[in-house]
Amino acid sequence: MPADAKPLRADAARNRARILTAGAQVFSERGPAASTEEVANRAGVAIGTVFRHFPTKADLLRAIMKDLLDRLLSDVDGLLRDSAPGDALFAFFTGLVAHAARQKTVVDLLAEAGSGLNVPDAVGRLERSVGSLLEEAQQAGTVRRDVALPEVMALLAAVCQGAVQGGWPPDLQTRTLAVVFTGLTPR
Amino acid sequence: MPADAKPLRADAARNRARILTAGAQVFSERGPAASTEEVANRAGVAIGTVFRHFPTKADLLRAIMKDLLDRLLSDVDGLLRDSAPGDALFAFFTGLVAHAARQKTVVDLLAEAGSGLNVPDAVGRLERSVGSLLEEAQQAGTVRRDVALPEVMALLAAVCQGAVQGGWPPDLQTRTLAVVFTGLTPR
DNA sequence: GGAGAACCTGAGTCAACGCTCATTTTACCG
DNA sequence: CGGTAAAATGAGCGTTGACTCAGGTTCTCC
């Protein structure tokens, strides 16, 4: 990893940031099919500027998702530090679903294969983090020992997907998660 | 419901059927973004013919989904008749997920809101059918009494979504469903 | 078998979108 | 300041995909 090759000019850095946040908004609302021009408009720059920073629409999406991923991973760290031992996994799960219900981009991240992009090792990094949450929960006796990482990741992705596409209201989110959590808890 | 207004000419009926099955294939493989022209090619007709039968791409998608829905509902009837009492819900659940993993269209049906179409009362009809499965399962003591229809529908949609987007292999499907079923079963 | 309506065909229209590039503007350094 | 390279601009290109329509083909019914 070459530490960010060249320092950007002041205006360039500002515009890059604007494009990134505008893109996060637009793609969250309209899905990944939203046009690059709309991102440019919302960012208050010309289309050419967007393409100068991200030569391809896919590059733009990748960059946005990488930001999102970094934020999620630091959430996991915070949760491991702050939650009651064993509850961190459930807290992360709940938080991610609530977040996804408003930020479609989360779903695209989890569905990487579907979206055709590939954020460098996104699933790998997320998997490792969720893995540590799972392990901690199992050691604390909050989660059954015979469930493994793949199905936890699968459920995470599935429930986020569902929450987004179906526009679940908060109470449906909690009721659905209750079933899943019951399924994960030892009897 | 005006009983199919006018009888189609022989060739028209044949082409309509061809377009419908070709469309089901194409949209299953490539997703709803696949081009209408590809459907026409696979059906062996000209584009104009597709648009004569379905004035809009959305109309075509709706028609395909209605077909699919009808088949699913008759599956439910069969299951209610043939399965061990109380197991029909689980059987339908498992079958639908396996089906979805190969037929993306199932997902679009469940995600109706997301796809922007609306098959006439699709969710309503499916909900009523799954509702009877649920009620039967609860009466048989196979499913907890404090879970309600909305979260069951939500889980159904979510797991199907996940299975499609993530391309879950069969064993991951069963392991994931195991967690969900445990969550639904009384302790 | 023949008239006429229903149907099929496929080149073509139009709009949307990803992306380019010649020109102009702006930040930075001495 | 003035010079220069980095950055921004936005009209425009090429492509793709939904949809149309004038003209040819096929079914149907007497």
SS3 state at A45: coil
Q: Is the pLDDT of residue B11 over 80?
A: yes
User: What pLDDT digit, counting tens, does each position of B143-162 carry?
Assistant: 999 999 999 999 999 999 88
Q: Are residues B31 and B99 in the same domain?
A: no
Q: Are residues B47 and B93 in the same domain?
A: no
SS3 state at B187: coil
Domain limit, last residue, from B33, B55, B77: B55
Q: Which nt has its C1' nearest the CA of B47?
A: C10
Q: Kindly state the greatest CA–CA separation across chain B.
A: 59
Q: Are residues A110 and A172 in the same domain?
A: yes
Q: Is the pLDDT of residue B81 over 70?
A: yes
Percentage of the residues of chain B whose pLDDT score is greater than 90? 60
Q: Which nt has its C1' nearest the CA of B33?
A: D17
Q: Are residues A44 and A76 in the same domain?
A: no
Number of independent structural domains in chain A: 2
Q: Are residues B50 and B80 in the same domain?
A: no
Q: Are residues A151 and A120 in the same domain?
A: yes
Q: What is the mean pLDDT of chain B?
A: 89
The residue among B127, B134, B151 with the most chain A CBs within 10 A of its CB, best to mutate, is: B151
- Contact in structure between A71 and A162 (CB atoms under 8 Å): no
**Domain annotation covers residue A1:** no
Domain extent, residue B48, equals 7-55
* B6 CB closer than 7 A to any strand D atom: no
> Which residue, among B61, B64, B99, has the nearest Cα to B79 in the 3D structure?
B99
Q: Are residues A23 and A44 in the same domain?
A: yes
**Domain annotation covers residue B80:** yes
Q: Are residues B46 and B71 in the same domain?
A: no
Is the CB of residue B118 less than 8 Å away from at least one CB of chain A? no
pLDDT at A114: 56
How many Å apart are B57 CA and D22 C1'? 23
> Which residue, among A131, A108, A118, has the nearest Cα to A23 in the 3D structure?
A108
Q: Are residues A78 and A122 in the same domain?
A: yes
Give the CATH number of the domain where residue B25 resides: 1.10.10.60
Q: Are residues A89 and A165 in the same domain?
A: yes
SS3 state at A2: coil
Tokens 């949209």, located at residue: B27
pLDDT at A5: 66
**Domain annotation covers residue A45:** yes
Give residue B124's pLDDT band: very low, low, confident or very high (50, 70, 90).
confident
SS3 state at A24: helix
Is the CB of residue B151 less than 8 Å away from at least one CB of chain A? yes
pLDDT at A1: 47
Residue A168: which of B154, B176, B184 has the nearest Cβ?
A: B154
Measured CA distances, B151 to A55, A67, B130 (Å) = 43, 32, 11
**Domain annotation covers residue B141:** yes
Q: Are residues B18 and B82 in the same domain?
A: no
User: What pLDDT digit, counting tens, does each position of A98-138 carry?
Assistant: 888 878 777 777 766 556 667 767 778 899 999 999 999 99
Low-confidence ranges of chain A (pLDDT < 50): 1, 3
**Domain annotation covers residue B134:** yes
Give the CATH number of the domain where residue B149 resides: 1.10.357.10
SS3 state at A142: coil
**Domain annotation covers residue B136:** yes
Q: Which two tokens stand for residue B82?
A: 């043939």
pLDDT at A164: 83
> Which residue, among B20, B11, B130, B148, has the nearest Cα to B76 in the 3D structure?
B130
Give, as one character, the DSSP assignment of residue A118. Answer: -
Q: Render the burial of A168-185: b for 16+ CB within 10 Å, e for the rest.
A: beeebbebbbebbbbbbb
Give residue B64's pLDDT band: very low, low, confident or very high (50, 70, 90).
very high
Q: Are residues B28 and B92 in the same domain?
A: no
Q: Is the pLDDT of residue B102 over 50?
A: yes
Greater confidence (B63 vs A103) lies with B63
- Contact in structure between B33 and A31 (CB atoms under 8 Å): no
Using CB atoms within 10 Å of the CB of residue A106, give its burial: 0 to 12 exposed, 13 to 18 middle, 19+ buried.
buried
Measured CA distances, B2 to A58, A62, B10, B104 (Å) = 48, 50, 21, 31
* A158 CB closer than 7 A to any strand D atom: no
Is the CB of residue B146 less than 8 Å away from at least one CB of chain A? no
**Domain annotation covers residue A2:** no
Q: Is the pLDDT of residue B2 over 70?
A: no
pLDDT at B46: 98
Tokens 């459930």, located at residue: A90
Q: Which residue of A has its CA nearest to B166?
A: A111
Is the CB of residue B148 less than 8 Å away from at least one CB of chain A? yes
Query: What string of H, E and C letters represents the secondary structure of B73-110?
Result: HHHHHHHHHHCCCCCHHHHHHHHHHHHHHHCHHHHHHH
**Domain annotation covers residue A170:** yes
